[in-house]
Structure 1
Amino acid sequence: MNAIVSIIVPCYNQAQYLDEALQSVLDQTYQNWECIIVNDGSSDNTEEVAQKWVQKDVRFQYFFKKNGGVSSTRNLGICYAIGEFILPLDADDRIGRTYINSAVRVFRRNSTLKLVYSKAEYFGDKTGLWYLPSFSIQNLARFNMIFCSAIYRKKDWELVGGYDVNMIYGIEDWEFWIAILKDGGNVFRLDTVEFYYRVKKVSRQKQLDGKMTKMMNEYMCIKHVDFFVKQLGSFLELNEVIEANKKCSENLKSEKFVIDVFCTTFFGFSVFGLYKIKKQ
């Protein structure tokens, strides 16, 4: 139970909420933690608020980086982390007092676990329980039922290369769960509420338009095509990102097709089309 748990708090213009998030860290019944606050190029007084906590308790650390999005910000914090376990915590959310203690106990009892999370509640502009469907690997191929503040081992973050910095428009946590779970490993949900998700009138998620969300879904589908084909037979069921057609399953099993879809979608050209032109 003496494992160090590294709590990673990315903050971009969320200084007004940061105190609440960090207080929930300080209130943990589990004491062997470090908290790494990473300022993602904020224009507000994030640094001032963070430095106050650094002076209050030596377990808090503060770093600044140029704005690059939540994936790169979490990755930077985790690079500095010395903990066996990682707990990402957005600067406007909170965790329950017994979250870390309960999660570490579960990890110690079951070496096959890769993720531990809990029940959740809304607070802010909306209150009440956040009803999340139960986890299954097949359901994970259809939707994300695990909030971003699940606890996992740093070594699993290292194995998949961290959070994908290309996921700049959201759902980066969903993609990361797929990356670390698609080749095996178990997930456990605590039966207590240990995570509190702030609902605001304006949030990063609400600001994402349909085009951006579709782009991220398509990128994720292509990156993890093996996972979606294995779990669903194809990745076409995923949020109706790509319209179903009869030839889909055959095409997705073709490595050339997947590479070509990726390049056409994100770079505007067909690799194999260029190859044919060059040969001619």
Structure 2
Amino acid sequence: MNNPLVSIVVPCYNQGQYLDEALQSILEQTYENWECIIVNDGSPDNTEEEAKKWILKDTRFKYVYSKNKGVSHARNLGIAIAKGELILPLDADDKIGQNYIKKGSELFQENPSLKLVYCLAMKFGDENGEWNLPVFSLENLSKDNLIFCSALYKKTDWYFIGGYDEQMKSGLEDWEFWISLLKNGGEVVQIKEVEFYYRIKKSSRQTDLTNDNRKSLFEYMSIKHADFFVKQLGTFKHLDSVIKSTKSEFKNKLQSKKFVIDLFCTTFFHFSIFGLYKKNK
């Protein structure tokens, strides 16, 4: 893999107002061998109008329209027509740092067996600051998603695992994709610099995800990747045993006068110190 073409796939549904910022961050990349496929997922806003401006600005930008079928379908559609060896998904309301593709592609050139490259991230928009994610491990991945959607991987790996699961229209499709990609092994490298910017909004697919939908998605993933979750977390019997043991231990502690007194004193001390701090501030 020498100076590989990187295909950036940008699905867009009702995010036309943010699209300029996302595409500008691609145009400013220090790595020049890229193409960007903008996928209009049947958006009723001005996505098409905004996208066509960029096609005229730089021929590396491409545009495709689809009826609204969800982000998994939009990504799969863009990746299917992508010509790059490496894929980088980017949501239309997020941004990437100008050296992200350069650093990521270099890592793949140095290590052809690499499966995934991501980086440090910052939040912006309604919330600002560093996005602190757990350190990557398969065990941590089994507990929650800890890699944002904008990570680099090979198109051949996307093809091998069958792409993004289009059944997961409500959300969590990124988490499921990373499990499919990594559960059987493969090296993951995190670039220790901020090269991804995640927009926080009051309303998003994540914030709008209902408890019922989330429960349904968890059940679906538990069945689809039962082998992975059992390997990382243990069987349901083991988990039940751990829960019972933890409850029993805590119950015994609560029955211990010393434990209760110590807990009360520690809590009272912390509140007292906090009260003095607020008073003297």
Contact 1:156 1:180 in 2 (8 A): yes
CA contact (8 A) 1:15 1:46 kept: yes
* Map of 2:160 onto structure 1: 159
Aligned positions of 1:1-280 closer than 5 A: 1-234=2-235, 245=240
1:37-80, Cα deviation, whole Å (9 max, x unpaired): 00000000100000000010000000000000000000000001
Aligned AA for 1:52? K
Match of 1:259 in 2: none
Deviation at 1:2, TM superposition (A): 1.6
SS in 1 for 2:192: strand
TM-score (norm 1): 0.84
Q: Does structure 1 retain, via aligned residues, the 8 Å contact 2:3–2:105?
A: no
- 1:233 CA drift (Å): 1.1
Moved over 6 A (4+): none
- Gaps of at least 5 residues in structure 2 are 242-281
Tell me the amino acid that sits aligned with residue 5 of structure 1: V
The number of equivalent residue pairs is 240
Q: Are the counterparts in 2 of residues 118 and 191 from structure 1 also a CA contact under 8 Å?
A: yes
Deviation (angstroms), 1:19: 0.2
Letter in 1 for 2:96: I
C-alpha RMSD of matched pairs (Å): 1.3
Q: Which residue of 2 aligns with 1:263?
A: none
Alpha-carbon separation, structure 2, partners of 1:98 and 1:215:
38
3-state secondary structure, aligned to 1:203: coil
C-alpha separation in 2, matches of 1:204 and 1:54: 28
Contact 1:221 1:235 in 2 (8 A): no
Name the residue aligned to 2:268: none
Q: Normalised by the size of structure 2, how large is the TM-score? A: 0.83
Per-residue deviation, 1:234: 3.0
- Identical columns (%): 61
C-alpha change, 1:219 and 1:75, in structure 2 (3 Å) is: same
Q: Partner of 2:18: helix, strand, or coil?
A: helix
